[in-house]
Amino acid sequence: MTRLSLNQWTTRHWSVAEAVDGCARHGVPAIGLWREKVAEHGLAATAKLVRDAGLRVSSLCRGGFLTGDTWPRDNREAIDEAAELGAACLVMVVGGLPGVTPGGPPGPRASRDLAGARRRVAEALAALVPYAAERGVRLALEPLHPMYCADRAVLSTLKQALDLAEPYPAERVGVVVDTFHVWWDPEAPAQIARAGDRIASYQVCDQIHPLPADALLGRGIMGDGVIGFGPLTEAVRDAGYTGDVEVEIFNADVWAADPDEVLATVRARFDSLVRPALG
Amino acid sequence: MTRLSLNQWTTRHWSVAEAVDGCARHGVPAIGLWREKVAEHGLAATAKLVRDAGLRVSSLCRGGFLTGDTWPRDNREAIDEAAELGAACLVMVVGGLPGVTPGGPPGPRASRDLAGARRRVAEALAALVPYAAERGVRLALEPLHPMYCADRAVLSTLKQALDLAEPYPAERVGVVVDTFHVWWDPEAPAQIARAGDRIASYQVCDQIHPLPADALLGRGIMGDGVIGFGPLTEAVRDAGYTGDVEVEIFNADVWAADPDEVLATVRARFDSLVRPALG
């Protein structure tokens, strides 16, 4: 049985219903849901749909953006949704420097206090963990590639994510290992080993080279970029991770293609480049 | 006396002679030279020009690209030039994955073996250190931002650079601390402290946000981006660095502007944002 999970942003133009149907047709047993898509279909209806289809919800994307001002309500809602969906984890993209809009220019009040932003993340996490724990939701801290440090995540390495998670039980606060975000990191193998049962999600996609004009869209299907999947996947395996492996791709060409063809390619590349190293 | 040094790529359209003249007019006592520009003016003529102008040569850019096949000759030449110019160091940009051209798509024979590429760098360095030592040239390993890992430098963090430098005396192999490349790194302050007298060059520039279409050109004049210069500069000061502070900017708008205006702005921003923290 494959451990492939479709993160639904890979087939961005599919609704929740279309993505669930696509997973069934392609033999994909798990799905990573996005809150916007879930809201369009309805929360209770989505929960029923994936349950009836026998799909695992490998993650809900996403909570976070803890460095701004609206995080308490946003994240409580996200946690409630993750609980109702039975998601294995809520992915947390922690947010960038206060006042720096994702993808946009820094506003006049943009902060350059990186250490301060990182402290805010730790404080917000401390406030959210009990709320998530009461609802049985596991928060999954996702370190993002350093090129997104200013606007999307001041959490930049797996080591930093593990340090942040350390005060909490592993079943309450885990980490996401995403090949795109960590492949360059000389410490990645050692930190994956350290993570052990903190690994809440393993996400695979490639890094396109050169990066496109919008660096956010530099993710590609495995084999289309510069990442070697063997060593990272073996490290995740050796750390004891037995969960689903999500493929999450932000890429204008992928989004413009027929989602069925995309999913077929994803499945084939997963089988040739990732699955052998999963053991 | 200011410790500002003009890396001549900041005023890219100036020749060596124009840049030396610009430094004199703007009261800048040091220059970071580029090999292409030196070759245009002539090596011996450049050495005489900077000496007669009383300018320090804070660095020569650059050696490296050690993961390909032509590095032995290229780097011996670069070392010879650094010696003749009396450069404080030869900046080493170590190169990316074999077969991945800087800024271009991966070729059909592109490697995805990152660990292997990193081993090649260590082996090449071992071969070059004695040659550089005989000529009194200090090699300065420059970790580049992880977004350049595939094509320009598999050396991605200061920790990695210091680990690589460790077998050699600090006066033979140092490191470059460049704010653009290290600002996001949670380990940067600790690694700067660890570096101590290994810091061969401190380079300052900002990170433009969002990154331009060509990510290589995302460097900006201090104050135009998202980097806070105080903490990093204080860390470099506290590590004991007393050398020149180079401003190296790759930016299409900066290159299109009047170089004299650029240098005036660089000097003013250096005085307001960097100099106070230098002590």
Sequence-distant (≥ 6) Cβ neighbours of residue A180 within 8 angstroms: A145, A203, A205, A206, A207, A218, A219, A227
Question: What digits encode the pLDDT tens for the residues B116-161?
Answer: 999 999 999 999 999 999 999 999 999 999 999 999 999 999 999 9
| Cβ contacts of A106 on chain B, cutoff 8 Å | 209, 225-226
- Rounded Cα gap, residues B61 and B203, in angstroms: 12
Q: Which of B151, B159, B228 sits opposite A209 (nearest CB)?
A: B151
In this complex, which of A112, A114, A226 lies closest to B106 when CB atoms are compared? A226
What's the mean pLDDT in B68-84? 96
pLDDT at B152: 97
Residue B1's pLDDT band (cuts 50, 70, 90)? confident
| Closest Cβ opposite residue B209 in set A100, A113, A210 | A100
Chain B environment of A115 (Cβ under 8 Å): 231
Q: How far apart are CA B25 and CA B16, in angstroms?
A: 14
CB pairs under 8 A between A and B: 97
Residue of A111, A149, A164, A187 to mutate, testing the B interface (most B Cβ within 10 Å of its Cβ): A149
How confident is the model at residue B108, as a pLDDT? 85
Are the C-beta atoms of residues B151 and A209 closer than 8 Å to each other? yes
pLDDT at B105: 84
Q: Helices in A135-278 by DSSP H: which ranges?
A: 158-165, 179-182, 188-195, 229-238, 252-256, 259-269, 275-278
Token pair, residue A22, equals 């696509």
Contact between chains at B226 and A106 (C-beta distance less than 8 A): yes
Residue A11: what residue type?
A: T
Mind telling me how many Å the CA of A136 is from chain B's nearest CA?
31
Cα–Cα distance, A253 to A224 (Å, whole number): 12
Q: Over 90: is that where the pLDDT of B103 sits? A: no
Nearest CA in chain A to B106: A209
- Counted residue by residue, chain A has a size of 279
Is A159's CB within 8 Å of B113's CB?
no
Closest partner CB to A150 (pick from B145, B159, B207)? B207
Question: Taking CB atoms and an 8 Å cutoff, what residues of chain A touch B183?
Answer: 114, 149
- The length of chain B, given as a count of residues: 279
**B273 neighbourhood in chain A, CB within 8 Å:** none
Q: What tokens appear for B8 in the block? A: 């001549």
Give chain A positions within 8 Å (CB) of B157. Answer: 185-187
- Beta pairing partners, A247: A6, A204
Query: B146: which chain A residues are within 8 Å (Cβ-Cβ)?
Result: 145-147, 184-185
Lowest-pLDDT range of A85-89, B100-104, B109-113: B100-104
Q: CA angle B142-B148-B152, nearest 5°? A: 65
Which of B209, B219, B232 should one mutate to test binding to chain A, selecting the residue with the greatest count of A CBs within 10 A?
Answer: B209
Cβ of B114 within 8 Å of Cβ of A228? The answer is: yes
CA distance A279 to chain B (A): 20
Query: Do the Cβ atoms of A225 and B149 come within 8 Å?
Result: no
List per-residue pLDDT tens for chain A, 279 residues long: 899 999 999 999 999 999 999 999 999 999 999 999 999 999 999 999 999 999 999 999 999 999 999 999 999 999 999 999 999 999 999 999 999 999 888 888 899 999 999 999 999 999 999 999 999 999 999 999 999 999 999 999 999 999 999 999 999 999 999 999 999 999 999 999 999 999 999 999 999 999 999 999 999 999 999 999 999 999 999 999 999 999 999 999 999 999 999 999 999 999 999 999 998
- Minimum CA–CA partner of A154 in chain B: B184
* Per-residue pLDDT reduced to its tens digit, B164-215: 999 999 999 999 999 999 999 999 999 999 999 999 999 999 999 999 999 9
At A90 the pLDDT is 98
List CB contacts of A69: < 8 A, sequence separation 6 or more: none
A50 contact partners, CB below 8 Å, separation of at least 6: A20, A31, A33, A57, A85
Local structure of A43: helix, strand or coil:
helix
Is pLDDT larger for residue B69 or for residue A138?
A138
**Per-residue pLDDT band at B75 (split at 50, 70, 90):** very high
In whole numbers, what is the pLDDT of chain B averaged over residues?
Answer: 97
Alpha helices in B196-279 (DSSP H): 229-238, 252-256, 259-269, 275-278
Could you give the angle at which helices A114-134 and A71-85 cross, rounded to 10 degrees? 40
B30: helix, strand or coil: strand
Residues B105 and A128: their CA atoms lie apart, in Å, by 43
- Judge whether residue B106 has pLDDT over 90: no
pLDDT at A103: 87
Phi-psi region of A42 (alpha: psi -120 to 50; beta: other; left: phi over 0): left
User: Could you say which of 3.20.20.210, 3.90.230.10, 3.20.20.150, 3.40.630.10 is the CATH number of the domain covering B4-278?
Assistant: 3.20.20.150
Query: According to the model, what pLDDT value does residue A205 have?
Result: 98
The residue among B114, B119, B155 with the most chain A CBs within 10 A of its CB, best to mutate, is B114
Chain A residues in contact with B104 by the CB 8 A cut-off are: 210
- B224-240 per-position pLDDT tens digit: 999 999 999 999 999 99
d(CA B250, CA B248): 7
CB contact under 8 A, A210 and B156: no
Question: Which of A192, A224, A226, A269 to substitute to test the interface with B, most B CBs within 10 Å?
Answer: A226
| B140: region left, alpha or beta (phi > 0 left; psi from -120 to 50 alpha) | beta
Looking at the partner chain, which of B106, B115, B210 has a beta carbon nearest the beta carbon of A209? B106
What secondary structure does DSSP assign to B134-181, as a single string?
HTTPPEEE----GGGTTTTBS--SHHHHHHHHTTS-TTTEEEEEEHHH
B147 contacts A226? CB cut-off 8 A: no
CA A198 to chain B, closest CA, distance in angstroms equals 20
Q: Which of B100, B118, B231 sits opposite A209 (nearest CB)?
A: B100
